[in-house]
Amino acid sequence: MRNAYISGTGSYVPENVVTNDDLNAIYGLETDDAWIQKRTGIKARRYADVGVRTSDLALIASRHAIEAAGLQPSDIGMILFASLSQDHVFPGGGCYLQEKLGLCEGAGATFAPAMDIRTQCSGFVYGLGTAAAMVQSGAVEHVLLVGAELHSAGLDLTKRGRTVAALFGDGAGAVVVSATDEDRGIRYWKCGADGRHADQLAQKIWDTAQRPFIPTDAEGNGIVKPEMLWANMNGRLVFKNAVERMSFGLIAACQDQGITGEDIDLYCFHQANMRINQYVAQTLGIPEEKLVHNIDRYGNTTAATIPLLLDEAARDGTLKPGMKVACVAFGSGFTWGAAIIDW
């Protein structure tokens, strides 16, 4: 069976930098820099301009990844789009991205299949496993995997929402997963979910148990209560489960591959909370020099965090060919996943 490897990486974050102090001074969120940094490690995040959609962020990151792989958009045999903040409720962002890449018209029209992945912060690892399986099966030569989020459109920037709103930022990361006969690539991936805790980190903007799924007034305008409109999180339960699932996921990955943590050259943890990542690293004895972080600059970009890390590390020389990389994520659902890659 042929191997599947990451042939190119790309990323994009909006230019608008929003510091913790800006959240208070500009956006009116009742919080302060010291409070946020102490609890999350976040100093700033990026917000997209009004009029920009998630697929627009994904497009730029995708173009960078395709170029880095030495390919053209028409070489892409499949698109996997991981996001919890799609352009619309439906259709999925993958179809919008496909059209923007020029795959529906002219000489480059391939009408490549586009699949959306809704496993929140774990979306990239779920997608990595899916992309590897598609390539290893021989179904496609190159899969474009994108994680993109535009959270700023859906944040409750009031005192009521400050514990959640301060966490998130906008951004996109992408990789191209390609076939190779070389002894390298995605060696292992495993994902899991625990739906018992699905309501502990959720944004229930519409409810299909209701008729209609969003209540309306006499004129037919939708009326959404705050507890449905904005994301809600049981922070303590999320923290506990994130540490456990990420730790056990990494241990299982090493056991499957017959390696130890010392054999891993670089760790790319999902960037949800610096305290979670530090706790996992301390629990497993991972030295700081083997970890890469960007949560301080971008906040939590959910499905985009790991591909953003990979692209930054590849471009600044931290991530080199021949390195063994471990990726791990945890998110709403609860969902989680880990992967081992020989770069």
Single-letter residue type at 305: T
Catalytic-residue membership of 270: yes
C-alpha span between 124 and 37 (Å, rounded) = 26
* Active-site residue, selected from the candidate residues 95, 121, 191, 327: 121
- CA dist., res. 42 & res. 40, Å (int): 5
Burial of 258 (0-12, 13-18, 19+ CB in 10 A): exposed
Compute the distance between CA of residue 77 and CA of residue 111 in angstroms, rounded to an integer. 9
Closest CA to 57 of 30, 88, 95, 87: 87
How far is the C-alpha of 254 from the C-alpha of 219, rounded, in Å?
59
Select which of 270, 273, 277, 327 is catalytic.
Answer: 270
Tell me how far apart the alpha carbons of residues 15 and 95 are, in angstroms, rounded to a whole number.
Answer: 25
Helix ranges (DSSP H) in 82-234? 93-100, 123-136, 162-165, 226-229
Active-site residue 268, yes or no? no
- Please tell me the number of Cα atoms within 13 Å of 326 on its side-chain side: 28
Calculate the dihedral angle through the C-alpha atoms of 119, 125, 128, 132, rounding to the nearest 10 degrees. Answer: -110
Return the axis-axis angle of helices 123-136 and 305-315, rounded to nearest 10°: 70
Residue 197 amino acid letter: H
Q: Which of 20, 273, 277, 300 is catalytic?
A: 300
3-class SS at 131? helix
DSSP-assigned letters across all residues of 14-58: -S-EEEHHHHHHTT--S--HHHHHHHH---EEE-PPTT--HHHHH
Q: Is 197 a catalytic residue?
A: no
CB 335 within 8 A of CB 193: yes
- Residues identified as active-site: 121, 270, 300
